[in-house]
Every structure is written in C-alpha cells, then in structure tokens.
Copies of this chain bind each other. A is one copy, B any other.
C-alpha cells in the first residue's frame, strides 16, 4: 500500500520548496522594507468567525471539524477575519497605524483546478487606522515592489483599480435601490468574464426589468479617471454622486506617481471583488496575457472590525496567493536565483583522516558556511562528482599534505584554480578564504 498527498494539496520536495521559499522570502523581505510587521495565527479558528459574516452557506467551502470538547472549528480559508479578530482584541493597546503582514497557509474545500488548489500560501498586507488614500497607495506600492523584485515588469502585469463607491453611485443612478446593490455588485464582478449580450440578458433578468446596460458598458469601459468623469454625465449620472470617490482616486494616483509606479496601474471599473466587506477602493493584479486568474486582490474594508466586535477603524489591504504567481513566473521563466546548492565540499583524499575531515567540516559550519562531505570514503573522482552535483563552489581536499604539514588544497570549482593553504590559516577566516574570495 502506497500513500499519496491529500487530493488537491501539494508536497514540496526540495526543488519545489526552493521555489516556495524564494517566493516567501521575497514577500517577507519586501513587507519588512515597507515597514510592515509580521503576525500569524493558529491554523484553525472557531467556525463562527466565518459564518457570522458569510452565513451558513460558507461551511461547505471550508474544511471544518468538531474537537473533543465539542467546539466547531474550521481551517483558515482566508486571513482577513483573523486579522480583524486579533486587532479587535487589542484595539486600544496597539499603536496606530497598524501595518501588518502575514503569509499563512490557507485551505479551501474547493474542486482543484488550474491556479486554485485546496491549499495555498497567501501573502496579506494590511494597514489599519488610516483613512487616507496614501495607505491604499502604499499597499499597491508594496505589491508592485514585490512584482519588480521577481522580475515582473509593467509589460507582464497590471494593477487594475476601481472604487466600490463608484459602482454603487452607478447602480443608484440607474435606479437600483440600496438593498439590491450586493446582488448587483455580484453581477458586475462577473461582467468582465461574460459576453456583452449575455451580460445584458443576465442584468435585465436579475432585476426583472430592462436596465440601461449600454450605459453601464460605456462607464465600465472608461480607461482613466478623467474618462469616467467625462462619460458619466452623458449617461445621466450626477457629478455629486461620484465626486467623493473620484477625489480619493485622484489623490491615490498622485501618490502612486510619487511612488513611481503608475506604469503598473490602470483605472478599471470591471474590478469589483467578490467579497462583501470591501467599502471603497478595490484592486486586482492580473497577468497581461489574460491567461491566468488574478495574482492578487485587495481594497478598503472600513467596517470589518466592527463585525467581529471591535471598534470602527478604517482598513486597507490585499492578498496574493502563491499558486497563480508561481505559474506566471514559470510561464515567463522568471524564477531566477532559486538554488539548493552547497558552498563547500570537503573531500577525504587519504585513508585514516575521516576524523579530521569531520573536524574541518564542523569548523566551517560553525563559521556559518554550508559545508558537506561524504559518509563513506569513495575514490576522488566520485567525491568530486558528488561535489559538482551538489553545486559546490569550492572543494577543500584533505590528503597526504594535510597529514604531513596540515595543508589542504582548495579548488575553485568554476575557474578550476587550485591553491594550497595551511588549515589553521584557512579556518581562522574561512568565509573570506573560501566563499567570498572564490
């Protein structure tokens, strides 16, 4: 009987893990330099935390269980409810603004398909306590800075930015009452994926009457903030109805320009976001080829903390999963610098010196150098072959000269150059002698 990984979930063998770590390290490095602090939470939450906002319907999308104490638990499907819970618990004690990031492993009981597994890692960046568009801009900047870090240019990816308050102004302008906005936003979220004729049909059906779908199309097609401002009055929208969000979006764009990232950004009202808790600016990052799902999505959620029993605090953030990102990086061949190779391989070239090989390896490792050796003494050719397979930069050969004079040979595996060094001299400054100097 052979066992396999659970369906829709991934094993990370060392070569896969190297890619995952390369991504996780990038997320962490970029987060830290943008002033975010890392947090984490248990793998599980009480099931209530998810049903409270989303209703019992969410349960079928979760991995859930009952523990021995009869408590209903669920494995985290997203990070934001946990963030809200943790911030609400210490809302008065935490210094503001709260700039936090996390990179949890999340699970969803979905049918596995391209770009979507039942388990994935998700980078989450959030700024809590700031209602200014500069915070939204900083979140987007942090995402873009990571994209640059992994060699994804403005030709490869685009940040599509909208504001839910504009969608709501449009819906109100078309006479759709507030209580139907959630349903309408759900339809808009699908608009980009459906043909216009089909969408018009769905749109009219959903509201039981003909709605000005052509006007909607014109508004959604606006490629800049100013284009929207010009088109809106033509389809009967009053300026007062969208002036607040347009002002914030203009400010956002000013900050995006200061951060030097407008080449990555585009105004695009097709972006609505599926989750109900967004209240303002929303954005998604897409592969420009249009072949993959969104790489990341986020926006402003000013009411979420209240929902979990906390105070009203403005908040903005985004999430980026590892699966679509990895696919894009593989497709575009941008996985550069992923490596699992060693630094130094110590070759045992003389009978009876195995203990000395171990001593030298021990000293190298204590000096912080990645050092390997063979467990059984093989002939020199085989040892050099192993060193080369492990990607060693340098080989240290312990042979007869070591026995006679405590001298080892150091070979640079790339240049092939070889030199002799006294072992004490070598170990006194091993990093400079071997790795930096090589």
Contacts and interface: CB of A to CB of B under 8 A. Distances in A.
A223 to B, nearest CB: 24
Interface stretch (A62-70, A173-181, A238-246): A62-70
Contacts of A29: 368
Interface in A119-137: 119, 130, 132, 134-135, 137
B3 A258 contact: no
B64 A68 contact: no
Contacts of A233: none
Given A365-B34, A368-B33, A45 B6 contact: yes
A63 B44 contact: yes
A82 to B, nearest CB: 8
Interface stretch (A10-18, A164-172, A268-276, A284-292): A10-18
Interface string A42-75: 1111101100100000001001110111010101
A114 interface: no
Nearest to A132: B375
A17 B43 contact: no
A251 to B, nearest CB: 11
Given A14-B37, A14-B100, A145-B365, A42 B9 contact: yes
Given A95-B389, A362-B141, A42 B375 contact: no
B88 A2 contact: yes
A73 B63 CA distance: 10
A60 B12 CA distance: 28
Interface string A105-125: 101010000000001000000
B132 A41 contact: no
Contact of A375 (B73, B88, B97, B310): B97
Contacts of A32: 370
Contact of A17 (B40, B45, B148): B40
A135 B259 contact: no
A86 B362 contact: no
Number of copies: 2
B375 A6 contact: no
Given A1-B309, A46-B3, A309-B2, A375 B10 contact: no
Contacts of A355: 254-255, 257-258
A372 interface: yes
A41 B340 CA distance: 18
A198 interface: no
A330 interface: no
B362 A259 contact: yes
Given A7-B71, A64-B65, A35 B371 contact: yes
Contacts of A73: 6, 63
A52 to B, nearest CB: 8
B37 A17 contact: yes
A10 B89 CA distance: 14
A89 B375 contact: no
Interface string A245-280: 000000000110111100000000000000000000
A233 to B, nearest CB: 30
Contacts of A132: 375-376
A60 B65 CA distance: 13
Interface in A316-349: 340, 342
Contact of A358 (B69, B255, B389): B255
A120 to B, nearest CB: 10
A362 B258 contact: yes
Contact of A3 (B48, B63, B254): B48
28 contacts: A2-B89, A3-B45, A3-B48, A3-B49, A3-B88, A4-B85, A4-B89, A6-B45, A9-B42, A9-B43, A9-B44, A11-B41, A12-B41, A13-B39, A13-B90, A14-B39, A34-B371, A35-B370, A35-B372, A63-B67, A63-B73, A97-B375, A130-B375, A132-B375, A135-B375, A141-B362, A145-B365, A259-B359
The 3 A-B residue pairs with the shortest CB-CB distance, nearest first, are A9-B42, A258-B358, A65-B65
Given A1-B308, A35-B390, A258-B358, 11 more contacts: A2-B88, A2-B309, A3-B88, A6-B73, A29-B368, A43-B43, A43-B75, A63-B73, A258-B355, A259-B359, A260-B362
